[in-house]
Structure 1
Amino acid sequence: MIIDSHQHFWNYQPQKHSWIDDDMAVIRRDFLPTDLETVYKENNIQGCVAVQADQTIEENEFLLNLAAKHDFIKGIVGWVDLRSETLDAYLEKYSTESKIKGFRHVIQGEPDHNFILRPDFTKGISKLESLGFTYDILVFPHQLGAVLEFVKQFPNQKFVIDHMAKPYIKDGYFDGWAVLMKEIAKHENVYCKVSGMITEADFKTWQPEEIHPYMELVFDAFGTQRVMYGSDWPVCLVAGNYRKVKHLVTSFISNLSGNEQKGIMGDNAIKFYNL
């Protein structure tokens, strides 16, 4: 079973989705399960994890609604305010929703480089493990130092780094990102998604060969049992199409054993998110 561990849905609203700039104009429209279902049939994908694209409680309800109508949505990574005094009530509520597997905050958008280490935020994170919730880490490379300190605090919490922490592929920067990713990978409760790569390269001219060193580092550091495939659809459409994204990963791992390939393309996500 091939599971896409990272994709999004939205009803496009210019104000809400202001992060979609002029260079990404191709995704300034609605993207819903009927669109993705067609893409998945063409690419032999059996299920997905839908990840929040808006930091509101309403986003969770939107995704739950879609998952109730479309069985191929196997899990949801939602959003809650982990700093809120009402967090416990929300976590209790979502612990009864079998499709909600975990949460994410758009840390890459926070001006404070150490946002992830703030006591009010880490207090919220400390409540996830006992309820079986995962946590997706969305950061830029310059925030990885804080991420390393962060994961050290929670050795039993299931974490996954989204989009390989968005290395600056377009600019060719590698070493600083690589050093910190290797350190973070030493913590065995941390997984990594090979996703969002083509949009960190040049949208128009990227070639697989310039992305391969970053993928190689991730596979060497995390091992094949803690890496999972994700498309980042529909964001990936600004730099390619679904087939190209999938092929980038499947061709890279084609020399691995059958079991390792199965893990990367589905089984690791099933295990991590308890799908």
Structure 2
Amino acid sequence: MRIDAHQHFWHFDPIRDSWINDSMKVIQRDFSPEDLLSHLMSKKIDGSIAVQADESPQETQYLLELSNKHTWIKKVVGWVDLSAKDIEAQLERYQEEKNLAGFRKILQALPPSAMEEKSFLNGIRLLSKYQFTYDILIFPKHLKATIELVKKFPDQAFIVDHLAKPDIKNGEFESWAKDIKVLSSNPNLYCKVSGMVTEADWKGWKKEEFKPYLDHITNSFGTERLVYGSDWPVCLLAASYNDVFDLAWDYFETFSGDEKAGIFGENACKFYRINS
């Protein structure tokens, strides 16, 4: 099964979605499952994973409703307040949602020290009890704190989004590469091959710019812990859906059939517990 393991839907609200500023006019509009489906079909992708873009219970419910309506939305990565006093009761209730794979917090907007807060750590600690995954959304400055976080919870299924957003536009590599290598030593952590084009020059990126980063995550994680995602519609800031897919597909073209099947679907199915 071929899976796009990272995409979003929203009804655009200029107040709620203020992160989509005027430099991002191309995505200042609604994006629905109907908008995505033709792209999936063009690349013979069987399903997708809808990831939260807003930090609210309403966002999680919205995505779950879409996944119940559209069977090709295989799983949802929602949001829950991991620091809430009643977090365990919330997770217990969420267990009833068969399409809810796990959760994500927008850590990239917070200082690295946010990953050290006791209430947040308590929430992370409970996720594995209820078999929920956790998507890590960070910048390179968060990597050292992330290393410590992942190390604390060896039984938790973690996945880092967008290669941890290296500054591809300015060619920053060494520090990111060193920390990613250390982070990848945790076998409970996967990495999404996603979000690269928006970390490059939106209007002038070249395919060869991404090779050192792709080489490094492949050498660090191995093909069995890499997962493809488009980051649609955010990717539209810098590339079409087809361009994003082709960038990853072309890089892995010479890999074995089993390795490609893993990266473009089977690894996501394993990580997010997708059965069909």
> How far is 1:113 from its partner?
2.1
Match of 1:165 in 2: 164
Match of 2:92 in 1: 92
> How far is 1:161 from its partner?
0.2
1:48-87 to 2 correspondences below 5 Å: 48-87=48-87
Distance 2:273 2:112 in 1: 31
The superposition leaves residues 254-274 of structure 1 with CA deviations (integer Å, 9 ceiling, x where unpaired) of 111100000000000000000
Match of 1:249 in 2: 248
> How far is 1:146 from its partner?
0.3
1:1-275 to 2 correspondences below 5 Å: 1-110=1-110, 112-275=111-274
1:104 partner amino acid: R
> How far is 1:40 from its partner?
1.2
Ranges in structure 1 where 5+ consecutive residues have no aligned partner: none
| SS of alignment partner, residue 126 of structure 1 | helix
Distance 2:103 2:161 in 1: 12
| SS of alignment partner, residue 193 of structure 1 | strand
> How far is 1:118 from its partner?
1.2
Distance 1:142 1:229 in 2: 23
Distance 2:107 2:24 in 1: 21
Ranges in structure 2 where 5+ consecutive residues have no aligned partner: none
2:256 partner amino acid: S
> How far is 1:199 from its partner?
0.4
1:22 partner amino acid: D
The superposition leaves residues 151-190 of structure 1 with CA deviations (integer Å, 9 ceiling, x where unpaired) of 1100110000000000000011000000000000000000
1:75 partner amino acid: K
TM-score, normalising length from structure 2?
A: 0.98
Distance 1:20 1:265 in 2: 28
Distance 1:204 1:268 in 2: 31
The superposition leaves residues 231-251 of structure 1 with CA deviations (integer Å, 9 ceiling, x where unpaired) of 000000110101110011111
2:47 partner amino acid: G
Distance 2:88 2:120 in 1: 13
Distance 1:60 1:219 in 2: 31
Distance 2:118 2:95 in 1: 23
> How far is 1:200 from its partner?
0.2
Distance 1:158 1:40 in 2: 26
2:34 partner amino acid: T
TM-score, normalising length from structure 1?
A: 0.98
Distance 2:3 2:83 in 1: 31
| SS of alignment partner, residue 102 of structure 1 | strand
Distance 2:123 2:41 in 1: 39
The superposition leaves residues 33-73 of structure 1 with CA deviations (integer Å, 9 ceiling, x where unpaired) of 01011221222111011000000000111001111110110
Distance 2:119 2:129 in 1: 18
Distance 1:97 1:69 in 2: 14
> How far is 1:93 from its partner?
1.1
1:131 partner amino acid: Y
